Structure 1
Amino acid sequence: MQLSTSLIISTYNWPEALSLCLESVLHQTVLPDEVIIADDGSRDDTRRLIEAFRQRCPVPLLHVWHEDDGFRKTQIMNQAFLQVSHPYIIQIDGDIILNRHFVEDHLHFAREGSFVTGSRVVIGKELTQRLLRTHRWRFSLFTPGLHNRLNGLRLPFLTKSQENYRQHDTLYVRGCNMAFWRKDIFAVNGYDEAITGWGREDNELAERLINSGIRKRVIKFSAIAFHLYHEWRSRGSVERNDEILHSTMTQKRTRCERGIDGHT
């Protein structure tokens, strides 16, 4: 019996990118059992896009939204976790285009007592603009304009041998390509909502999972994701968020005070 899964997609005011992301979701070799959009306060154009995709999506498509009050990914992700109906969660960002085997690969790699982080191929600025302009989400690994192409090689027979790559480095975590068990996320109380603004929210969550005895595994040569180019967000909050991460590391925290349970 196949493991059932919820795919959570975080987004904020970029419906053009979200459209390409959702197209790649609809064309997966194995569909998730539900899709949840964690929307950090987007405008109505994103809501209309999601409604249009809901008509085409063969699995439930949920839209979890709160008002725009700055970068509050931790809060909207925790609200999305509360809507999850399946035991395994795959998490991506709304500016990611998925290889058609992405969900299949994550499900094949899933193991109890662990969480997973993957990597991504970076799509350059010019190619990103062309894909958005033409609404094209299919392309080759050899298409000009891709960076770090090695992350795009799908060689599943090598995946298991690479699972311990940078295993103890919690700074090597990609929130745009992660997977974990719902029970483990609830045990650590989800994302720490003391972290606001861009930076370290995924690393801090990973640290608490590891402190709880949940093993970090890296999925390479499978679960391939392509990241659309965008300008960097403000890094003004990183220093404060680094302090929270450092505190979690030194105190070996397993649970945050401000997390999922603040929304129940």
Structure 2
Amino acid sequence: MKLDTSIIISTYNSPAWLEKVLYGFNNQTYRMFEVVIADDGSTQETADVLVRLQKEVFFPIVHVWHEDDGFQKTKILNKAVEKCSTPYIIMTDGDCIPRKDFVEVHVKYRVEGHFLSGGYFKLPMNISEAITKEDIYTERCFDIKWLKKHGLKSSFKNSKLTAGPIKAGILNAITTTTATWNGHNASGWKDEIVAVNGFDERMQYGGEDRELGERMMNNGIKGLQIRYSAITVHLDHPRGYVKEEMLVKNRAIRDAVKANNSIWTDNGIVKNKK
């Protein structure tokens, strides 16, 4: 079976959540993919989980790791992009469990000259912890009745989980949410990501994924909205890595990209191109 898709999953010291996510990918209807773990400096525990799961899941796992040096997600993502062996890349996070048709949806709607913009459905901590391997394989964790039984509150956002294909298509078309490159659920062609030199490695937390999409759009790549079709549930976690100076710095970089209509960063996969 020839692989035609690479799944990049970012992670940092969250092996229990990553294990649940990998079970989600082991449940996919579309199977011609590899998984590339973009590991921003996790301890040996994460590596051990990957070695154990490689014996259980059907897809190959490539573990891309670097030393822990604070929040350096953009750097490890660029290394992961280089390791992808297929022409198409789906990016997500190690806290987002994919519904069984997640990869199938991305593959169905992929088209050259475009990237796909998905979303996620946030779960509270108690439900995140309660989800088991069986809940993932049976897809109970995507069932609104099961989630409400475990304390989920009613909301319009629940339509992400209840919408069938026709309704999801309508909601994708009418949503006021702009199609952006979202690190938790987005996909595009590897050569179109490399054409803008990947992620800007000066950026830490706060819009670092969207900045990549903004340069891609400046380079003529259009975003397509699939937030109601490509479904993941997001496991809760603390965000102790968020710092105000990161947000300010990243905002300035994005403002410059917009002002200059930039398509390239000198701080990406290739360094200091003149």
Given the superposition, is the C-alpha separation of residues 165 and 155 from structure 1 closer, same or farther in structure 2, using an over 3 Å criterion? same
Q: How many correspondences in the alignment?
A: 259
What is the rounded CA distance, in whole Å, between the counterparts of 2:193 and 2:52 in structure 1? 30
What is the rounded CA distance, in whole Å, between the counterparts of 1:98 and 1:146 in structure 2? 19
> What TM-score results when the alignment is normalised by the length of structure 1?
0.91
Q: Does residue 210 of structure 1 match 2:217?
A: yes
Residue aligning to 1:97 = 97
CA contact (8 A) 1:20 1:135 kept: no
For residue 232 of structure 1, give the secondary structure of its aligned residue in structure 2: coil
Q: Percent identity at matched positions?
A: 35
> What TM-score results when the alignment is normalised by the length of structure 2?
0.87
Residue aligning to 1:243 = 252
Structure 2 counterpart of 1:191, from 179, 184, 199: 199
Residue aligning to 1:260 = 269
Given the superposition, is the C-alpha separation of residues 227 and 8 from structure 1 closer, same or farther in structure 2, using an over 3 Å criterion? same
Structure 2 counterpart of 1:155, from 159, 164, 180: 164
Which consecutive aligned stretches of 4+ in structure 1 deviate over 6 angstroms post-superposition? none
What is the rounded CA distance, in whole Å, between the counterparts of 2:174 and 2:83 in structure 1? 31
CA displacement at 1:111 relative to structure 2: 1.1
Residue aligning to 2:230 = 223
Amino acid corresponding to residue 258 of structure 1 in structure 2: N
Residue aligning to 1:76 = 76
Q: Does residue 15 of structure 1 match 2:24?
A: no
What is the rounded CA distance, in whole Å, between the counterparts of 1:214 and 1:60 in structure 2? 29
What is the rounded CA distance, in whole Å, between the counterparts of 1:174 and 1:146 in structure 2? 24
Given the superposition, is the C-alpha separation of residues 77 and 44 from structure 1 closer, same or farther in structure 2, using an over 3 Å criterion? same
CA contact (8 A) 1:32 1:103 kept: no
Structure 1 portions without partners, runs of 5+: none
Amino acid corresponding to residue 174 of structure 1 in structure 2: N
Structure 2 portions without partners, runs of 5+: none
CA displacement at 1:21 relative to structure 2: 0.2
What is the rounded CA distance, in whole Å, between the counterparts of 1:195 and 1:88 in structure 2? 24
RMSD (Å), alpha carbons: 2.3
CA contact (8 A) 2:119 2:228 kept: no
1:89-148 CA-partner distances (Å, limit 9, x unpaired): 11110001111110001111111110011111111121112227x884342223124463
CA displacement at 1:223 relative to structure 2: 1.1
